[in-house]
Amino acid sequence: MPKHYLIANWKMNRPPEGADQFVEKVRAAAPDPATTVVIAPPFPFIAQVAASLRGSPVRIGGQSCSTESRGALTGEVSAAMLRDCGATCVLVGHSERRTLFGETNEIVARKLTAVAEASLVPVLCVGESADIRDRGEVVQFLHEQIASAAGSLGDSDEIVLAYEPIWAIGTGRNATPSMIAATVGPIREAVRASWPERMASNLSILYGGSVTPENIDSLWSTGAIDGFLVGGASLDSGRFLSILDGMRDRRVQAGTGS
């Protein structure tokens, strides 16, 4: 069965309140056993945040990794290095990596292989631009992104997929609940068509794209997703924990968990 996730992607930022203060507040909050919480800080702070969370159920994630395990690759970080610093999962193929750094489906597939070989949980990010959506090519585009990853997941037992429409990231715009549901359906179909059945049946699908405490209820109401990948709102511990509370409250209302 898919798990529920809430992932904080700090990108190239530190919380204004300070990383230690942020982590202390998240750690002190009442845990939600039904939701796996992940914090993905910039590389230099992974070990620091991991040390602060030792003994806590909150996980650490990397924001990206190299396609290689070692070598003369100045500025790169391997998946195994992230694991050794305390990370348990890695974002792969985030839209900013694809659009700003030219990561193709082939590069993303190689990174997924590296993550699987390091025994980390891959968080595969997929999503379309406004042009692709306007042309009505969303399903085909996402199918290609998903199918290209099929042979790169190794024997991973836990896999997460984050649907993040590029046009909704950091723009204040957001996909409507009906739009999300209409897109996640074909995503699951594409996964079932190209991935091993055991991976498809356990896959958790998250939504990412200007997620805030104010829109969490409507986004969660689709019933199509298993959690959220949060950017800007994850830099404030209060807002991030409000999203976690919103997920829990909605689940209680639906009678699907405590």
Which residue is associated with the tokens 């042009």? 131
Q: Domain with 186 in it: what CATH number? A: 3.20.20.70
What is residue 174's predicted lDDT score, i.e. its pLDDT? 72
- The pLDDT, as a whole number, for residue 255 is 59
> How many domains does one find in the chain?
1
Distance, CA of 237 to CA of 22 (rounded, Å): 5
Distance in angstroms (rounded) separating the CA atoms of residues 142 and 119: 26
Query: Mutual orientation of helices 177-194 and 138-147 as an angle, nearest 10°?
Result: 40
Q: Which of 187, 257, 247, 185 is nearest to 221 (CA)?
A: 247
Provide the domain limits for residue 147.
Answer: 4-254
Does an H or E element contain 35, and which?
strand 35-40
* Helix (H) or strand (E) segment spanning residue 230: strand 227-230
Closest Cα to residue 208, out of 3, 4, 7, 2?
7
pLDDT of residue 258: 46
Report the C-alpha gap between 192 and 198 in whole angstroms: 9
Quick one: the chain helix, strand, coil %, rounded to 5? 45, 15, 40
The residues carrying an active-site annotation are 94, 164
Both tokens assigned to 205: 């699908």
Structure tokens belonging to residue 167 = 């046009």
- What's the pLDDT score for residue 209? 87
Written as six digits, the tokens of 11 are 């990108």
Report the predicted TM-score, pTM, of the whole model to 2 decimal places: 0.95
List the chain residues with pLDDT less than 50.
258
State residue 99's pLDDT score.
Answer: 94
- Reported as a single tens digit per residue, the pLDDT across 33-48 is 999 999 999 999 999 9
- Specify the pLDDT at position 251: 65
Reading the block at residue 115, the tokens are: 């993550």
Q: Quote the tokens at residue 13.
A: 């930022």
